[in-house]
Amino acid sequence: MSFPPLRSLLDALPAYEPSDGVYAGPTRPRLLSANESPHDPLPGIVEAIAAAGATVNRYPDPGCGALTLAIAEALGTDEDQVVVGAGSVALLQTLVQSISDPGAEAVYAWPSFELYPVLSKLAGVVSVPVPLSGAAHDLRAMADRITPSTRLVIICNPNNPTGSVVGSEDLGRFLAAVPPSCLVAIDEAYHEYVRAPQTSSGLRFCEGHPNVVVLRTFSKAYGLAGLRVGYLIGDARVVRRLRKVGLAYSVSAVAQRAAVAALGLEEQLLQRVGTTVAERSRVQDALLDDGWQIPESQANFLWLPLGEEAAGFGRWCASQGIAVRTFPGEGVRVSIGSTEDDDAFLAVASEWRRRPPAAQDPDREARRVRTAVDV
């Protein structure tokens, strides 16, 4: 029997596929595929969640008032410059929907966050992916691709999946070249992990540039991936309009209360981030010592640019009980986790290197090359 016609783009759109075995399967692998915090939530967070749980017969505050105020205070900005969303991906969706007049284009680097092309396509926005130069944004090439149709530029800083950063001076120069009619979204999902000098938050550019917005999340450094809460900072006039696009009530009371609690526990949470940063150096050095060629990362993950070997390596890790994120034909991203999980990964990665080349990609012929996204 036939079924009703849905938008034809849905036929070709890839579904989001979590890494093998993470949410189903007999035994849970070591979770190094989604850049989550490896730490259990602090007691204060669990208490806030329990308290909010007692109110779930009621709708949440649609304006996220207490959380908006707490974020504004933490960042030293005004409440009317903050929008809260159900994860920063919801705010990314809000952004592309907000600029999706016919013919609108979005410029972003590639490879970068997997959702940029998907959300653009769904909103009817034409993607203009600009290849990275090595592991880093090629800002000059990106500036060259901006035309009167460009309504949005996304800069992922640090870049997921390569971990590279855009320095403040370069960013300032780039922003000066972007027409004021074009929004620039700086996705800072991993900002708290940055230790490179000369790399500061895009927040400092919001002041003089009404077209700049910064996206942050509670999912990574603040350890609330399971609750879905993120925010955007921008010019009050832009923010007022963006608030109309997101669904009211989409950020649960549990998420709002936990995020307020997380801001109150910032010091402890940022200490945990420090632990992850030290662990990042340890894992990075171990891989380099083992002969891997990997770019320096300023995020809570490392990028293994394996090219055609990526899918085989991803399957090898899965077979050894380790979930990593595979970008077929490009590379594998591995999160920095607990010392124990990272040691397990290092052993598995080292074993891969020592296997004879023929054995490294057992089903070369059968390999299903799933291009990341048909942009």
Ligand X SMILES: *Cc1c(COP(=O)(O)O)cnc(C)c1O
Binding-site ranges for ligand X (CB under 6 A): 35, 87-89, 113, 156, 160, 187, 189, 217, 219-220, 225, 230
Contact 119, 99 (CB under 8 A): no
Q: Which is nearer to ligand X, 35 or 127 (CB)?
A: 35
Contacts of 354 (CB under 8 A, 6+ apart): none
- The answer to whether residues 116 and 106 touch, using CB atoms and an 8 Å cutoff, is yes
Q: In angstroms, what is the minimal distance from the CB of 294 to ligand X? A: 18
- Write down the least CB distance from residue 215 to ligand X, Å: 7
The least CB distance from residue 350 to ligand X, in Å, is 27
Residue with Cβ nearer ligand X (230 or 312): 230
Show the DSSP H helices in 76-179 as ranges. Answer: 88-98, 115-123, 139-144, 168-177
How far is it, in rounded angstroms, from Cα 34 to Cα 219? 10
Specify the residue, 88 or 361, whose C-beta has the smaller distance to ligand X. Answer: 88
- The least CB distance from residue 277 to ligand X, in Å, is 17
CA dist., res. 367 & res. 271, Å (int): 42
DSSP three-state, residue 260: helix
Least distance from C-beta 49 to ligand X, angstroms?
A: 17
Residue 172 Cβ, how far from ligand X at the closest point, in Å? 21
Least distance (Å) between residue 270 CB and ligand X: 18
Q: Which is nearer to ligand X, 125 or 348 (CB)?
A: 125
* Cβ closest to ligand X, residue 220 vs residue 243: 220
Give Cβ neighbours of residue 322 (< 8 Å, ≥ 6 apart): 29, 30, 32, 341, 344, 345, 348
Tokens 């035309």 belong to 147
CB of 31 or CB of 189, closer to ligand X: 189
- Which residue's CB atom is positioned nearest to ligand X? 87
Q: Which long-range contacts (CB under 8 A, 24 or more apart) does 371-375 make?
A: 371/328, 371/329, 372/111, 372/114, 372/327, 372/328, 372/329, 372/330, 373/14, 373/114, 373/117, 373/118, 374/12, 374/14, 374/117, 375/110, 375/117, 375/121, 375/127, 375/129
- For ligand X, the closer of residues 220 and 272 by Cβ is 220
